[in-house]
Amino acid sequence: MEMMLWNVLLTTFIGLLGWNLKEKSAELVRITILLNRTREEIARDNVTQAEIDKIVAHIDSRFDKLNDKIDMFIRESRSALN
């Protein structure tokens, strides 16, 4: 009887330990997947410094063209008044 009780306790303990390890393993897999998704989202949402520099350079060139057109318009307006 004592041996049977010992077997039941050991079986229960090992069963609970196995279930706990299985749950922790599944949780670790879930967290790993979420971490990878987060890394992908961060990489997708953030812009690199090179991309920012390219965009700023493009905007600067457009403003320079606009500035040149405004200067030309002012010169033509002044020459038309003289």
Over the stretch 17-36, which tens digit does the pLDDT of each residue have? 999 999 999 999 999 999 99
What's the Cα-to-Cα distance from 43 to each of 34, 36, 37, 47, 56, rounded to whole Å? Answer: 14, 11, 10, 8, 21
pLDDT band at 74 (very low <50, low <70, confident <90, very high): very high
d(CA 10, CA 65) in angstroms, rounded, equals 83
Quick one: 42 and 52 in the same domain?
Answer: no
For 11, the domain range is 1-46
Q: Is the pLDDT of residue 43 over 90?
A: no
Q: What angle do CA 55, 53, 72 make, to 5 degrees?
A: 60
pLDDT band at 75 (very low <50, low <70, confident <90, very high): very high
Phi and psi torsions of 46, nearest 5°: -90, 155
Quick one: 24 and 63 in the same domain?
Answer: no
pLDDT of residue 46: 82
Residue with tokens 């998704």: 37
Quick one: 16 and 5 in the same domain?
Answer: yes
Q: How many domains does the chain have?
A: 2
